[in-house]
């Protein structure tokens, strides 16, 4: 492991210390678990961003255009 120093607000420090006492886990363990969760969430974020950006790109298209594509595909099968 690599040692890293961070600064916490008084409130963060107090809450972290309290959580460590309640759970019986070390503060460093709680911090690593939180970082792991953040990184896992961030890894899935680009896909979600692309999906959200694509939302509505077909909203101005007429349904008949879709039907024409479907009809063409049906003829090929």
Q: Which of 25, 31, 24, 21 is nearest to 1 (CA)?
A: 31
| Domains of the chain, CATH where assigned | 1-56 (1.10.1220)
Task: Tokens for 1, please give them.
Answer: 């492991």
51 band by pLDDT with thresholds 50, 70 and 90 = confident
pLDDT tens column, 52-70: 788 877 777 777 777 788 8
- Among 20-29, 33-42, 44-53, the range with the most confident prediction by mean pLDDT is 20-29
Q: What helix, strand, coil percent values describe the chain, rounded to 5?
A: 75, 0, 25
């Amino acid at each position: 492991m690599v040692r890293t120093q961070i600064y916490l607000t008084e409130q963060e420090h107090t809450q972290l210390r309290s959580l460590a006492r309640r759970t019986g886990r070390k503060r460093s363990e709680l911090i690593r678990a939180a970082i792991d969760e953040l990184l896992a969430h961030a890894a899935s974020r680009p896909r979600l961003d692309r999906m959200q950006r694509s939302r509505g790109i077909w909203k101005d298209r007429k349904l008949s255009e879709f039907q024409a594509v479907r009809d063409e595909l049906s003829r090929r099968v």
